[in-house]
C-alpha cells in the first residue's frame, strides 16, 4: 500500500532532517550596513596671493627710452649716464656704456634696436656709470676710445680719491685702446664726429665733448647735467673753473638748433647751456665775494649764496646740493 504525504509533511520532514544533521547557528542571509555620515568638508580657503616679484638688482636694467635726434643719432636714457648712438652701414658708434651691471642688457637691447653690436665706443670720462660697461662691449668687438686720463684712471696709473675711489683697477679689457689728448675726428655713416677734450679739468681730468657736425648734436658727458648743480670730482682732478671753461666751449660749439645730450637729464638746448654757464659764473662770483670778506667755510655755506639758482638747479634728479657746490667753490678759491 502506498502512503501519500502531503506537501506540508514533506516540508516538515526536510526541516527536521536539517535540524537533526546541522546544529551550527546560521548567519542571516541579509546584512544591513549602517554607515556613519561623512564629516563636513572644511571650508574652502581662497588661493593665496602669489608673492610679489623680486625687485631687479640695482642698475641692472637696459636703457628704457630712445629719443631720435636726427640723421641716425639717438639718445638712450636709462640707468646711469645718457648714451649716444649713431647707426649706419659703417657700423654702430656708441658714446658711453653705463654700468658693469647692466652692460649685457644694454648690449642686447642695442642689438635688438639697431641690428648689430657697436664697433666704436667713446667714453666721455672714466666714471663707472658711463664707462662701467667697457669690458662687455670690448669683448663683443667694440674698439674703445677715450682721453688718455680715462685709461690711466681705469688702469690705476692715476689714483682716484674721494667718493669715486676704486677698490682695484678695472680689468685690462675695459681700458681704452686708443687714447688722445688733443681730440680726434671720426668719419662714419655720413657724419663727422668730433671728440673734443674739455679745455681744463672739469667733472674729471679726462672729460670729452662729442659733436656730430652734420646732425648738429652735442653730447657733453657730465660737464653738463641738465638743471642740476655739478659734481666736481676733485678726487679725479675735477675743478669748478674747468666746468666754466667746458660749458663755455659747449656754448661756442652749439647753435640755436643744436640738440644737446647732457650727461644726465633730459634733452637740452643751447639756451639751457647758457643758463648753466651763467649759474656757474654767478656762483663763483658769489662765493668769491664771501671769501674776500674773510668768511669761514661754515659762514659761507650758511649765507646761502646760491639761493637765486636753487629753483632751477635743485630740481628732480639733482644729487649735489647748493651747500655742497658752495663748499667745492670755496675750497678751490682758498687754495
Q: What pLDDT band is residue 46 in, cutting at 50, 70 and 90?
A: low
Residue 290 lies in a domain: no
- Is 17 part of any domain? no
Distance of CA 45 to the CA centre of its chain: 42
Average pLDDT over residues 106-116: 97
Q: Is residue 212 part of a domain?
A: yes
Cell readout for 203 is 667733472
CA distances, 150 to each of 123, 128, 158 (Å): 8, 11, 9
Taking all residues of the chain, what is their mean pLDDT, rounded to a whole number?
90
User: Which pTM does this prediction carry?
Assistant: 0.84
- Top-confidence residue, 45 or 110: 110
DSSP string, 249-283: HHHHH--TT-EEE-SSSS-B-HHHHHHHHHHHHHH
Within a domain: residue 285? no
Percentage of residues of the chain with pLDDT beyond 70: 84
Kindly report the CATH number assigned to the domain that includes residue 84.
Answer: 3.60.15.10
Residues 6 or more apart whose CB falls under 8 angstroms from that of 102 comprise 59, 60, 61, 62, 78, 79, 80, 133
84 found inside a domain: yes
Whole-angstrom distance, CA of residue 261 vs CA of residue 225:
9
Domain total of the chain: 1
| pLDDT at residue 56, rounded to an integer | 79
Tell me how far CA of residue 163 lies from CA of 79, 89, 210, 320, in angstroms.
19, 41, 26, 13
292 is a domain residue: no
pLDDT of 188 strictly over 90:
yes
* pLDDT above 50 for 3: no
The whole-number pLDDT of residue 157 equals: 97
Does pLDDT of 15 surpass 60? no
pLDDT digits over 249-304, tens only? 999 999 999 999 999 999 999 999 999 999 999 999 999 999 999 999 999 999 99
Domain boundaries, position 83: 65-270
CB 45 within 8 A of CB 185: no
Does residue 175 belong to any structural domain of this protein? yes
Kindly tell me the sign of the dihedral angle through the C-alpha atoms of 287, 289, 292, 295: negative
Q: Per residue in 75-94, pLDDT tens?
A: 999 999 999 999 999 999 99
Amino acid at each position: 500500500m502506498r502512503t501519500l504525504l502531503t506537501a506540508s509533511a514533506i516540508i516538515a520532514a526536510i526541516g527536521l532532517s536539517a535540524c537533526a544533521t546541522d546544529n551550527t547557528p546560521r548567519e542571516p542571509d541579509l546584512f544591513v550596513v549602517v554607515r556613519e555620515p561623512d564629516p563636513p568638508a572644511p571650508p574652502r580657503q581662497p588661493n593665496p596671493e602669489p608673492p610679489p616679484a623680486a625687485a631687479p638688482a640695482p642698475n641692472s636694467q637696459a636703457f628704457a627710452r630712445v629719443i631720435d635726434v636726427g640723421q641716425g643719432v639717438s639718445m638712450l636714457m636709462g640707468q646711469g649716464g645718457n648714451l649716444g648712438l649713431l647707426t649706419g652701414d659703417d657700423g654702430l658708434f656708441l658714446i658711453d656704456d653705463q654700468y658693469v651691471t647692466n652692460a649685457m642688457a644694454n648690449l642686447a637691447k642695442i642689438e635688438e634696436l639697431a641690428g648689430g653690436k657697436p664697433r666704436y665706443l667713446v667714453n666721455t670720462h672714466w666714471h663707472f656709470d658711463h664707462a662701467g660697461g667697457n669690458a662687455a662691449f670690448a669683448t663683443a668687438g667694440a674698439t674703445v676710445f677715450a682721453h688718455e686720463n680715462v685709461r690711466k684712471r681705469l688702469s690705476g696709473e692715476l689714483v682716484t680719491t674721494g667718493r669715486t675711489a676704486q677698490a682695484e683697477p678695472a680689468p685690462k679689457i675695459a681700458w681704452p685702446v686708443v687714447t688722445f689728448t688733443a681730440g680726434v675726428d671720426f668719419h662714419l655713416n655720413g657724419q663727422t664726429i668730433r671728440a673734443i677734450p674739455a679745455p681744463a679739468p672739469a667733472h674729471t681730468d679726462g672729460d670729452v665733448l662729442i659733436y656730430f657736425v652734420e646732425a648738429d648734436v652735442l653730447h657733453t658727458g657730465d660737464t653738463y647735467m641738465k638743471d642740476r648743480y655739478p659734481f666736481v670730482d676733485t678726487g679725479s682732478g675735477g675743478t669748478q673753473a674747468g666746468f666754466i671753461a667746458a660749458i663755455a666751449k659747449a656754448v661756442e660749439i652749439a647753435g640755436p638748433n643744436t640738440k644737446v645730450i647732457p650727461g644726465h637729464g633730459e634733452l637740452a638746448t643751447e639756451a639751457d647751456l647758457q643758463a648753466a654757464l651763467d649759474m656757474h659764473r654767478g656762483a663763483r662770483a658769489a662765493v668769491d665775494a664771501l671769501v674776500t670778506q674773510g668768511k669761514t667755510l661754515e659762514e659761507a655755506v650758511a649765507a646761502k649764496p646760491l639761493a637765486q639758482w636753487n629753483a632751477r638747479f635743485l630740481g628732480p634728479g639733482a644729487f649735489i646740493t647748493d651747500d655742497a657746490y658752495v663748499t667745492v667753490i670755496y675750497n678751490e678759491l682758498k687754495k
